[in-house]
Amino acid sequence: MSRTVWFFADGERAGGPVTWDALLAAARRGEVTPKGRVWTPAVDGWVPARDVPWLFGTSDATLAPTDVAEGGLAVPPPLKGTIFARSRPASPVKRLGLVPAAPWHRALALAIDLVVLFVLTLAIGGSFLWALQRAGLNGPEVEQSDIFGLAAVVLLLLYPVATESYWGASLGKRILKCQVVDAFGETPFATRIVIRSLVRGLGVLGLLVSGATIADGGIRSANVAWFVGTVPVFVFSAVSMWLRDRRALHDLAGGTWVVRRR
């Protein structure tokens, strides 16, 4: 029997390590189709299953699968895909052996990020107010609270998009050695980051607005919608982070996972 090991992913099905004979049997059963992808330590990355000689009846002897040395079993590289990909493997926590970030890691990372956002808001809002004063546009119609509020909202949405798209993690997550990944174990595409940032940013903003109004003397009628619409988001996220794969609501919306880096 061949000593070559193979991994495969096709739609919701994913498996490995299996031998070449087992991979052939899976192809005959329809568990692996030409639209799927396979990997073996003999190649650099995942390849379309239709390109593997002999798997679906081709007979190019020069490209026949070859054995690898004993002990050649390795962890497969992350599957590449797009947000529109039809083929989606199962949770990377199970497939790739990743470790979900603990709730306290995520809470502490959020606290660090909020401090960073506060400092950036003061810096950018203050710079904008200074520019208005220099231009003579700081009349009574310009409210400082509106300037800083606008800066906070913009940063709350753009900060995670910029950091998580570039680093795969915000500053708080990097400090705590956490990483945002997609179903393939890779840094998510910007579209996924934008979705998770909008859901999370809306919830954080709503909770801050609700907290500020309570501290200011109670919830006004104008803020009831904020309070009612955002508190359930935080409650659901807090509960879900203790469940399977520890995914918050914005992770479920964006199709992402937060894991610990090794």
213 domain residue, yes or no: yes
We report the CATH number of the domain holding residue 12 as 3.30.1490
**Is the domain of 115 the same as that of 219?**
yes
17 contacts 6 by C-beta, under 8 angstroms:
yes
64 contacts 2 by C-beta, under 8 angstroms:
no
Whole-model pTM: value is 0.58
Q: How many structural domains are present in the chain? A: 2
Identity of the residue numbered 169: A
Q: Which pLDDT tens digit goes with each residue over 196-236? A: 888 887 777 666 666 666 666 655 555 666 666 666 777 77
Residues of the domain holding 219: 103-260
Residue ending a domain, among 62, 77, 92, is 77
Q: Which pLDDT tens digit goes with each residue over 127-178? A: 887 877 777 666 555 566 677 778 887 888 889 888 988 888 999 999 999 9
